Amino acid sequence: MTMKRKGTHYERELVHLLWDEGFAAIRSAGSGSMQYPSPDILAGNGAIFLAIEVKVREKLPLYISAEKLRELVMFSNLFGAKPIIALKVKKEKWRFFELEMLEETKKGYKITQKKFFEGKELGEILNKYRQERL
The pTM score is 0.91
pLDDT digits (tens, 9 = 90+) for 88-110: 999 999 999 999 999 999 999 99
Answer for the pair 124, 98: CB distance below 8 angstroms, yes or no.
Answer: no
Looking at 43-98, list the stretches that DSSP marks H as alpha helix, in order from N- to C-terminal side: 66-79
Catalytically active residues are: 31
Q: Please list, in sequence order, all residues whose beta carbon lies within 8 angstroms of the beta carbon of residue 95, skipping any fewer than 6 positions away.
A: 86, 87, 88, 89, 116, 117, 119, 120, 121
Answer for the pair 103, 111: CB distance below 8 angstroms, yes or no.
Answer: yes
Residue 7's pLDDT band, with cuts at 50, 70 and 90, is confident
Closest CA to 96 of 45, 134, 46, 41: 41
pLDDT digits (tens, 9 = 90+) for 40-49: 999 999 999 9
What was the pLDDT predicted at 132?
A: 66
